[in-house]
Amino acid sequence: MEIARCTPNTIDRLPALPGIYTFYSHKEALLYVGKAKDIRKRVSDYFLANKLHSLKTQCMVKQVASIAYTVVDSEYDALLLENNLIKKLQPKYNILLKDGKTYPYLCITYERFPKLILTRKVLPSLGKYYGPFTSTQSIKRTLEVIRKLFTFRTCSYNLSEKNIIQKKFKVCLDYHLGLCKGPCQAFQDELSYQKEISQIEALLKNNFAPIKKVFKEKMGAAVQLLDYKTAQHCKEKLSLLAQYQAKSLVANPLVGDLDVVAIVADQDYLFVAYLHIQMGAVSFAQQRVFTRKLEEKVEDLITLIVYELRSCTNSNAAEVLVNIPCKAVLSSFVITMPKIGDKRKLVALALQNALLCKKDFLYKKTHHQDNPPVMLLQLQHDLKLKELPYCIECFDNSNIYGQHPVAAMVCFKNGKPSKKDYRHYNIKTVVGADDCASMHEVITRRYSYLVATQAAFPQLIVIDGGKAQLNATVAALQQIGVYGQIAVISIAKRLELLYFPNDALPICLPKQALSLKLLQQLRNEAHRFALAFHRKKRTQALTYDEWEAIPGIGPKTLTKLWKQFHTPAVVQSASLEALVSVMGPTKAQQLYTYLHNRSFENDINTI
Report the alpha-carbon distance of residue 407 to residue 158 in Å, rounded.
Answer: 84
Would you say 591 and 553 are in contact if contact means Cβ atoms under 8 Å apart? yes
The reply to whether 229 and 146 lie within a common domain is yes
Q: Which domain holds residue 479?
A: 375-536
In a domain? residue 94: no
415 and 458 in a single domain? The answer is: yes
Q: What is the pLDDT of residue 34?
A: 86
* CATH at residue 567: 1.10.150.20
Q: 3-class DSSP state for residue 24?
A: strand
Q: How far apart are the C-alpha atoms of 425 and 427, rounded to whole Å?
A: 6
Structurally, the chain folds into a number of domains equal to 5
Q: Is residue 543 part of a domain?
A: no
Residue 573: closest CA among 541, 539, 543, 605: 605
Burial class, 585, CB count within 10 angstroms (exposed 0-12 / middle 13-18 / buried 19+): exposed
Residue 157 covered by a domain: yes
Neighbours of 461 (CB within 10 A): 24
Cα(181)–Cα(161) distance, integer angstroms: 17
Whether 146 and 197 map to the same domain: the answer is yes
CB atoms within 10 A of CB 300: 11
Mean pLDDT in runs of 10 for the chain (607 residues)? 69 85 87 86 82 77 87 73 73 62 79 88 82 67 82 89 89 88 90 89 76 86 87 84 49 70 85 80 76 69 80 79 81 83 84 85 67 82 90 89 83 90 88 86 92 91 91 92 91 86 87 89 91 78 61 74 74 80 80 64 40
Q: Are residues 521 and 467 in the same domain?
A: yes
Does residue 530 belong to any structural domain of this protein? yes
How big is the CA angle at 59 (ends 53 and 61), to the nearest 5 degrees?
A: 75
Which residues, including other chains, have CB under 8 Å from residue 448's CB and lie 6 or more apart? 480
Question: Is 531 inside a domain boundary?
Answer: yes
**Is 23 within 8 Å of 8 (Cβ atoms)?**
no
- Looking at 150-208, list the stretches that DSSP marks H as alpha helix, in order from N- to C-terminal side: 161-165, 173-177, 190-204
**One domain for residues 481 and 396:** yes
Q: Does any domain span residue 342? A: yes
Answer yes or no: pTM beyond 0.85.
no
Please name every residue paired with 276 in a beta bridge, in sequence order, or none if there are none: 259, 284
Find the angle CA(84)-CA(87)-CA(93) to the nearest 5 degrees: 115
User: In the prediction, which pLDDT does 339 show?
Assistant: 85
How much is the pLDDT for 245? 41
Q: Are residues 260 and 301 in the same domain?
A: yes
Q: Are residues 379 and 361 located together in one domain of the fold?
A: no
**CATH at residue 284:** 3.30.420
544 located within any domain: no
At 519 the pLDDT is 92
Query: Is there a cis peptide before residue 132, judged by omega within 30 degrees of 0?
Result: yes
Query: What number of other Cβ atoms are within 10 A of residue 421's Cβ?
Result: 14
Contacts of 237 (CB under 8 A, 6+ apart): 148, 149, 215
| Pair (430, 512) in one structural domain | yes
- In a domain, residue 152? The reply is yes
Predicted local distance difference test score (pLDDT) of residue 593? 77
Residues 380 and 362 in one domain: no
| Whole-number pLDDT of residue 76 | 64
| Domain's final residue, options 303, 335, 366 | 366
Q: What is the CA radius of gyration of the chain?
A: 36
- Do 313 and 335 share a domain, yes or no? yes
C-alpha distances in angstroms, 436 versus 401, 403, 408, 473, 491? 14, 16, 14, 8, 14
